[in-house]
Amino acid sequence: MIKEIRVRIAPSPTGLAHVGNIYIALYNFAFARQNKGKFVLRIEDTDMKRHVPEAEKVIYKALKWLGLKYDEGPDIDGPFGPYRQSERLKEYQKHVQQLIDKDLAYEKEGAIWFKVSTGKTSWNDLVRNKIEFENDQIKDFVILKSDKYPSYNFAVVVDDWLMKISHIIRAEEHISNTPRQIMLYQALGAEIPQFAHLPLLRNQDHSKISKRKNPVAISWYQEQGYLPEALINFLCLLGWSHPEGKDVFPIEEFIKNFSFERISKSAPIFDLKKLDWLNGVYLRKKTDKELKDLIKPFNKEGISFDLIDKIIPLIKERMVKLSEFDTLTEFFIKEPKIEEKLILEKGGKDKKIIKEEFEKVLEGIEEIKWTRGDLEEFFRSLVQKQNYHLGKFFMAIRIALTGKIATPPLFETMEVLGKEKTLKRLKKVIDDF
């Protein structure tokens, strides 16, 4: 009979859902789904100093947003609960007593210590092959603290054993904990699970990813307007490569093609530029209607839905994050602040010439139809007739209308902006100059 695949993540509720924990959760989730197994969420809340009330909900919310649905956990039924360590204290104390009775543990200074045996401890890591430790390099260690709470190493072993966890997929920083945990499994007479230690996420300077150098809270990515499917795709690529060399793929492909052999032993670099690129790809895959719905929470300026319908096709190719919507579009409803220095620098002329060119625009533009095609024909004809420098002239117009040097296509922008606002803004520059 084939043993059921059971994996878990066991975050501490410290106030945020850390992107590093989600990265580990993703790999556990994929392995469980690929093997029709179970993905378990357990809350490690025995460190009272770090515990933050309500922090569990942050973890639940992040996993739900990303579509990483767990099969058992504190907030749903499961056969091996409770799924909070703080509710399992009697279980730990019972098994500590068993080790004392076997003379495998002893009391010192109010705490219970485990006796480390002689010899070697090794295991065949699913990512790193054989790893071996000399036991004489490991000292006796605490399994029950003086406050009667278990140590990390003891609690995790008891929990994983009683919850029938078959594979422990976690970050490489836990490699040094593994020999202690294997000794405890052996002392308790428990079956030892298989271990897979994933490479740690790293900053650009190869230091461990941390909030000092990179945003680590999943809530930040949600607030910035990253799509969950883009963030998942990005995390898939950290330490794992698609067999066809793809960069863009749905989670279903990750699940189908997942294998420990394809996981790199070297630490992946957490590159936000790559995530930005991926998010842009996923945004462009959305229909205009889907994008309109996604934009709603980011429409801080209160642009009307009718105007959003007209704007979306103009910004779809440029938008990297949903939070950029206001910045990309505010000039459609708010008169932009025109920096004189910018228009002179990019327009490449003095005030007198820009004023004369804008006056020429106003002389002929009143009579044309207000469509992007007619506007483009008018402006290009004017450039040719007056022998203007096309790039600099168009840039001066762009800045006058939007206050920016990078915007959606100029004539489409003018069409959506409308005749009244366009002429008013051109006249303002003439008056100011």
Distance CA 302, CA 296 (A): 9
Distance CA 365, CA 100 (A): 92
What does DSSP assign to residue 50? T
Number of other CB atoms surrounding residue 129 within 10 Å: 9
Distance CA 183, CA 188 (A): 9
Active-site hit among 102, 211, 296, 334: 211
| CB contact at 8 A, 317 and 350 | no
Task: Give 52's Cβ-side CA count (13 Å radius).
Answer: 13
Q: What is the 3-state secondary structure (H, E, C) of 280-321?
A: HHHHHHCCHHHHHHHHHHHCCCCCCHHHHHHHHHHHCCCCCC
What single-letter amino acid sits at 43?
A: I
Query: Is 211 an active-site residue?
Result: yes
**What one-character-per-residue DSSP string does 345-397 give?**
HHHTS-HHHHHHHHHHHHHHHTTS-SSHHHHHHHHHHHHHHHT--HHHHHHHH
Burial of 270 (0-12, 13-18, 19+ CB in 10 A): buried
Using CA atoms, how far residue 396 sits from 14, 21, 62, 374, in Å, is: 52, 49, 45, 19
- Annotated catalytic residues are 211
